[in-house]
Amino acid sequence: MSDFLLIHGSCHGAWCWRDVIPALEALGHRARAIDLPGHGDSPCPIEDITLDSYADAILAAIDTPTIVVGHSMAGFPISAAAEKDPARIARLVYLCAYAPRDGVSLVDMRLEAPRQPLLAAIEKTPDGLGFTVRDDKLAEAFYHDCPEGTVAYAREHLCVQAIRPQATPIRLGANYASVPKSYIRCAEDHAIPPEYQQTMTEGWPPEDVSEMPTSHSPFFAAPEDLARRLDRIARGPA
């Protein structure tokens, strides 16, 4: 049995792991999800939200060495948490996520991808501190292969995403390097180009990289398959 902490991506919250948590529990694991500051049940003034505050929230939720799964933009905060306190993290799992490099911001990585499909789907808030997903682009960007009702459910819960954490260059060193890592790519991703997910994992050991035939939201499109993959990661090589 392993402990899993599930971390959401931009504009999302703990709610997006609704179907994965029971699937992991059915496989004998303990699974939890949290809201990062400014998301869901973790209110925070947008001007106070930082990459550090995201990392601190992750570490505050861990009481035993835990497999931390980060979706999409959460690749950055889970990495920052590992740099701060690697002893608390058994493994990092990047789920169609940004796998960061030292000194680079998420915004930098988004722009270096061969395509930026999300640019047409997001719009800044009037104060310029955050962004939201355009309603008419929501299904195509995130949920195009998900069950009926997913878009309506998401629409009720999506929130403003603070830009500051994504514009902050991350600092990674020996602590981060010491933590084992796995990556799950999504072949039909319309948010982070699948070819860029391949670029980010070039040179990774083959056994630490797998691929799902889903959209950017495998937690809704194929939650049981995702849980089985996480179970295999937790169990390690046969």
Q: Write the pLDDT tens digit of every residue in 177-199.
A: 999 999 999 999 999 999 999 99
Regions of the chain with pLDDT less than 70: 237-238
Position 238 scores a pLDDT of: 55
Contact in structure between 163 and 130 (CB atoms under 8 Å) = yes
C-alpha of 193 from chain center? 15
- Reported as half-sphere exposure (CB side, CA atoms, 13 A), residue 203 has a value of 3
Question: Structure tokens of 199?
Answer: 């670029």
> What DSSP character marks residue 105?
-
This prediction has a pTM of 0.97
Task: Give the whole-angstrom CA distance, residue 217 versus residue 223.
Answer: 9
At residue 236, the pLDDT reads 86
Q: List phi, psi (to 5°) of 162.
A: -65, 135
